Amino acid sequence: MSEPATTPEPRALNFIEDIIEADRVTEKHQGRVLTRFPPEPNGYLHIGHAKSICLNFGLGIRYGGATNLRFDDTNPTKEEQEYVDSIKADVEWLGFAWKAEFYASDYFQTLYDFAEHLIQIGKAYVCDLSEEQIREYRGNFFKPGQDSPYRNRDAAENLDLFRRMRAGEFPDGARVLRAKIDMQSGNMNLRDPLMYRIRRAHHHRTGDAWLIYPLYDYAHGVSDAIEGITHSICTLEFEDHRPLYDWFLAQDTEEKFFQRPLPRQIEFARLNLTYTVMSKRRLLLLVQEGHVQGWDDPRMSTISALRRRGFTPASLRNFAERVGVAKRDSLTDVALLEHAIREDLEKTAPRRMAVLRPLKVVITNMAEGETHWLELANHPDPVFGTRKVALTRELWIEAEDFMDVPAKKWFRLAPGAEVRLKGACLIRCEDVIKDTNGQVIELRCAWDPASLGGDAPDGRKVKGTLHWVSAAHAVEGEVRLYDRLFTAEDPMDVAEGGDWRDTLNPHSLDVLAEAKLEAGLAEAQPGERFQFERLGYFCTDQDTKPGAPVFNRTVALKDSWARAEGLGK
């Protein structure tokens, strides 16, 4: 686990905390708070899950309680151990420790026993209708359902049939177990919902022990109740499942199956972020259709992608804290996420110099072979120490730091202009070398030796400071710049006949294969984070090889010059 999450800063309580505090006043749970994070292991977690993780574990921490990690593995055809492993890694990386690791499949026997109990008290029955017939009998929003012809089988027959379902006497799909509630209900979830289906599938944990598997609505609440969860937090779309959640638990008429008080389901609005999509299904399509290179492609909104991109657990936790928790649908500006990571990395990332698009500078009044070793600060905060960087006659600077015909208020390099090389000296541009196409290929500059390591003795000031790398010492590396994956704020909000993939940003990845990096960066380890001076925050990618470093840009620095320029000011 990375840095563990701690009790958050004081702030106004959200509505879930209000509920918990009210429960504490009435001593409903004797002060106990136990939440759970219940992922289905059928895909990778994304930043929306991160919000839910921070919420659930955060409540446990805040109220001196705990949180269980429970895999909702009731559908063996979709679930895999690979996902279990990645989910655990993600939760740990975010800085949270679960009290216990459970699986819905741990409760298959109890779930089965409770189902028999429901049959015995006349609240569940085996239905022989086909899948299609069940749908027809269910009606729709405007048409009430009609009772299944099998609805009034007696308990003994139901029990016999259910046991034979379990024993494998019927083919897949032949029969289901249904709760007997109300086929007329306006809430479709209450029209005799399915509890069990027959499915001969290999389960990632129970193997071939079971031929029948419970469905979510039945398994989830029961699992919560078995564990003694106090507050069961989920997203808004489960709001009209709540009556069903409560109904199942209320069937423990003799209070033999669950401890009291029963858990309470509370729903909050899921996270949406501008310029991205947030569903496992669409994320999977992005991977399958090759729009990105994998689940952890740094452009993705998965936790593994954000990690690879260079986000820190603390920044994600702070982000989750700031977006808040409420019940209204919202679309959070990705700028808030970017703020959270800049805020963290500004304080923690060592500074380095890297030139992404190199332009050669020759210091004409410096001898060949002349080398000045400079002591550069690793960070504005002196506790980060210093490092040695070489200054020589031939340098690389950022191509965009030179303008042949300078714009208004331009205070970087231009013909005749003087600028500071960060941590080194002042140089003045004396000559501009161009190729036959008129492209600037080299700058001839003169340095002021008296300014070495500081200011010019005559006190003259320069406005511009550039980052630079000694050509003789630079290592070459690959730098991957990422932009938003979609060009639309809400990719789902497409015009009639359009598709969310229409708004994919064709320029979301820009690979700079010949960046010039200061020598020390050759030893950067995967996962190490830096600020490249004046450019942004970067994280060493796992593709890094000895002598061939690869960096991902986590986020650019704020750039008021680029902004002003873009606005034509």
Partner RNA sequence: UGGGGAGUGGUCUAAUGGUAGGACAACAGAUUCUGAUUCUGUCAGGUGAGGGUUCAAAUCCUUCCUCCCCAACCA
Active site residues: 40, 270, 280
Stretch that binds RNA, among 25-33, 87-95, 323-331, 360-368 (CB under 7 A): 323-331
Contact 363, 427 (CB under 8 A): yes
Q: Which of 239, 430, 431, 523 binds RNA (CB under 7 A)?
A: 239
* Residues 476-505 as x/- pattern, contact with RNA by CB under 7 A: ------------------------------
CA separation for the pair 425, 447 (Å, rounded): 7
Among 385, 453, 498, 547, binds RNA (CB under 7 A): 453
**Interface residues for RNA in 151-180 (CB under 7 A)?**
172-173, 176
Q: Which residues of 276-294 are buried (b: 16+ CB within 10 A; e: fewer)?
A: bbbebebbeebbeeebbee
Q: Which residue do the tokens 């899921």 mark?
A: 270
Using CB under 7 A as the binding rule, whether residue 97 contacts RNA is answered as no
Contact between 465 and 455 (Cβ < 8 Å)? no
Distance CA 297, CA 290 (A): 11
Binding part of the chain for RNA, among 116-124, 210-218, 495-503, 505-513 by CB under 7 A, reads 210-218
Among 110, 146, 189, 206, binds RNA (CB under 7 A): 189
Using the rule CB under 7 A, which residue among 326, 441, 511, 548 binds RNA? 326
Whose tokens are 């304080």? That residue is 347
β-pair type (176-179, 194-198) = antiparallel
**Closer CB to RNA, residue 139 or residue 543?**
139
Count of chain residues binding RNA (CB under 7 A): 92
Residue 559, interface with RNA (CB under 7 A)?
yes
Of 192-200, 254-262, 289-297, 513-521, the window that binds RNA (rule: CB under 7 A) is 192-200
| Complex with RNA: residue 442 or 490, whichever CB lies closer | 490
Q: Taking Cα atoms as reference points, which of 247, 251, 264, 254 lies closest to residue 115?
A: 251
Which H, E and C letters describe 439-504, residue by residue? CEEEEEEEECHHHCCCCCCCCCCCCCEECEEECCCCEEEEEEEECCCECCCCCCCCCCCCCHHHHE
Of residues 329, 368, 458, 496, which one binds RNA by CB under 7 A? 329
Give least dist CB 378 to RNA, A: 10
Q: Is 74 in the site for RNA (CB under 7 A)?
A: yes
- Residue 307 as a binder of RNA (CB under 7 A): the answer is no
- Residue 199 binds to RNA (criterion: CB under 7 A): yes
Encode burial over 305-326: b for 16+ CB neighbours within 10 A, e otherwise: bbbbbbbbbbbbbbbbbebebe
Binding flag, residue 458, RNA (CB under 7 A): no
Q: Which is nearer to RNA, 10 or 438 (CB)?
A: 10
Applying the rule CB under 7 A, the residues between 262 and 301 that interact with RNA are: 269
Binder among 237, 254, 255, 435 for RNA (CB under 7 A): 237
Q: Any bridge partners for residue 235, and if so which?
A: 268
Amino acid occupying residue 437: N
Greatest CA separation for the chain: 102
One residue of 110, 330, 392, 487 binding RNA per CB under 7 A: 330
Parallel/antiparallel/unpaired status of strands 386-391 and 465-466: unpaired
Listed ranges 6-14, 252-260, 440-448, 497-505: which one lies at the site for RNA (CB under 7 A): 6-14
Q: How many CB atoms lie within 10 A of CB 332?
A: 17
Report the distance separating Cα 208 and Cα 204, nearest Å.
9
Q: How far is the CB of 10 from RNA (least distance, A)?
A: 12
| Residues 364-383 close enough to bind RNA by CB under 7 A | 379-380
